[in-house]
Amino acid sequence: MPSVAILGAGMSGLAAAHSFQDAGYTVTLFEKSRGVGGRAATRKREGFIYDHGAQYVKEGTPASLALITERFRTPDLIDIKKPVWIFDGQGHIQAGDEKQNAEQKLNYRNGLTTLPKKMATGLSIQFETRIINVQQEASGWRLYDSAGYNYAGFDFLFITLPAPQARKLIQASQIETALQQEIIQRLTPASYNPLLSIILGYHPQPRTRPYYALVNSDKKHPISWLAWEHEKAPERVPPESGMLIAQMGPEYSAAHMETSDTECIQQVAQMIAQLLQEELLSPIFTDIQRWRYALPAQKVDGDALNAKTLPQRLAFSGDAFVGGRLHLAMEHGIMVAQQLISQQ
C-alpha cells in the first residue's frame, strides 16, 4: 500500500486524507497543534461556545457540500437563517446581497470544529508535531519535527500549511536544489493578512437585529465583520446572554498585533457601540485571538507549482492557492490528492 504524509490537519489536509484513504493509501497526518481544523476553530469557555476563526461554511461544489451534508453529517448541523447585512466606513447599515444571503451558511450547534472532528475520526494523526524540514531520500520522504524526532519512509508528501509557512519549511529542507528553488520562487508571492478576533460575551443579550452579522462593504471601517454568535444556536451562550464577535480589518489588525488585550477589547467594544448606536453594558466575558495568517491577500498558482512537484511525489494544497474559504480549501485538497493518485 502506498503511504502519504500530510502536513496540517486543517480542512484541506483532512479532505485530502479521505481521498487518499479511499484510494487505499496509508495516511498519516502531522499537526502542530493539539486539535484538528486549523482556522476552522471553536472554543468552549465559561458557558460560551464560539468560533474564533472561520464563521461558517458556504455551499461549495455539490461534491464538497455532500461531504458536509451526507458523508460527515452530524445531527447538530445548522443553517444560519438570518441574513448578513453590510455597513460602510461611515457606519451606514443596510441589507446585504440577496443572492448571497439565499445560500446556506452552514455551522453546528456545538461549534464549527464539529466538522473537522468528525472528518478526523478514524484517521491517524500525530498531534503536537511541528514539522520543521523534510528530506527526499531514495526510499521516500523523511520528516523532522521541532522536538528532534524524525519519521521516514513515506512514498508521498502532501503539504497544506499556509504558503509563507510552507515556503519556510521548504527553505529549511533537503530537496534537489533546482526543485527547491522553483518551489520557493512560486510560493514567495503568496501573502496573508493578519486578523484580530475580539470576542465579547454580554448579559443580558444585546438587542436583536434583523441580521445575523454585518460585513464592511467598502473596507473603510476598522471592523471588517461583526457577528451575533448566539444567533447560531441557543446552546452557544448561557441563558439570556449574548455574544458578539468582531473581526478587525487588516490595517487595524496589523497595527494592534502587539497591543494589550485590555486595550484592544476596550477600543473595539466602543467602536461596536458606536456602529450599532446601542449602549452595551460591560462584557461579562472577553477573549481575543490574533491570527497572523488569517486570509490570503495574494494567492499563488497551485497548478503551476504542483505540475513541477507531482513527479517528485510532492504536492501542495490549501487556501493560498484558491482563496480564504473553507469549502475552497477542502475542494483544493481533494483535487490535488486526486491528481497525485491518478498520476501513479
**Nearest C-alpha neighbor of 162 from the set 5, 52, 293:** 293
The window from 18-26, 133-141, 267-275, 318-326 that contacts ligand FAD (CB under 6 A) reads 318-326
Q: Quick check: 26 and 1 in contact, CB under 8 A?
A: yes
Nearer to ligand FAD, 7 or 187 (CB): 7
Main-chain phi, psi angles of 247, to 5 degrees: -105, 125
The CA radius of gyration of the chain, in Å to the nearest whole number, is 21
CA-to-CA distance for 9 and 162, rounded, in angstroms? Answer: 12
- Does residue number 326 form part of the binding site for ligand FAD (CB under 6 A)? yes
Rule CB under 6 A: choose which of 4, 5, 6, 7 binds ligand FAD.
7
- Does residue number 39 form part of the binding site for ligand FAD (CB under 6 A)? yes
- Does residue number 190 form part of the binding site for ligand FAD (CB under 6 A)? no
Look up residue 97 and give its three cell numbers. Answer: 446581497
Rule CB under 6 A: choose which of 9, 275, 314, 336 binds ligand FAD.
9
Three-state secondary-structure class, residue 293 = strand
Rule CB under 6 A: choose which of 10, 96, 111, 242 binds ligand FAD.
10
Interactions with ligand FAD, residue window 77-136 (CB under 6 A): 130-131
- Does residue number 229 form part of the binding site for ligand FAD (CB under 6 A)? no
- Does residue number 249 form part of the binding site for ligand FAD (CB under 6 A)? no
Nearer to ligand FAD, 188 or 344 (CB): 188
Look up residue 65 and give its three cell numbers. Answer: 457540500
- Does residue number 55 form part of the binding site for ligand FAD (CB under 6 A)? yes
Three-state secondary-structure class, residue 179 = helix
CB of 161 to ligand FAD, least distance (A): 4
Q: Checking phi first, is residue 205 left (phi over 0); if not, alpha (psi -120 to 50) or beta?
A: beta
- Does residue number 142 form part of the binding site for ligand FAD (CB under 6 A)? no
Number of residues forming the site for ligand FAD (CB under 6 A) = 38
Three-state secondary-structure class, residue 209 = coil
The window from 7-15, 69-77, 85-93, 231-239 that contacts ligand FAD (CB under 6 A) reads 7-15
CB of 60 to ligand FAD, least distance (A): 9
**Burial (0-12, 13-18, 19+ Cβ within 10 Å), 267:** middle
- Does residue number 253 form part of the binding site for ligand FAD (CB under 6 A)? no
Nearer to ligand FAD, 46 or 103 (CB): 103
- Does residue number 165 form part of the binding site for ligand FAD (CB under 6 A)? yes
Nearer to ligand FAD, 5 or 24 (CB): 5
Number of H helices, E strands in the chain: 10, 20
> What are the strands of the beta sheet with 105-108, ordered from one edge?
57-58, 105-108, 77-79
CA-to-CA distance for 322 and 70, rounded, in angstroms? Answer: 24
Report the 10 Å Cβ neighbour count for 111. 24
CA-to-CA distance for 141 and 135, rounded, in angstroms? Answer: 6
CB of 56 to ligand FAD, least distance (A): 5
CA-to-CA distance for 130 and 31, rounded, in angstroms? Answer: 6
Q: Quick check: 9 and 36 in contact, CB under 8 A?
A: yes
- Does residue number 325 form part of the binding site for ligand FAD (CB under 6 A)? yes
CB of 41 to ligand FAD, least distance (A): 8
b/e code 309-327 from CB counts within 10 Å (16+ = b)? bbeebbbbbbbbbbebbbb
CB of 196 to ligand FAD, least distance (A): 9
Nearer to ligand FAD, 57 or 272 (CB): 57
Interactions with ligand FAD, residue window 269-288 (CB under 6 A): none
Rule CB under 6 A: choose which of 16, 27, 40, 288 binds ligand FAD.
40
Residues at the interface with ligand FAD (CB under 6 A): 7-13, 30-33, 38-40, 53-58, 130-131, 160-162, 165, 195, 197, 247, 291, 294-295, 318-319, 324-326, 329
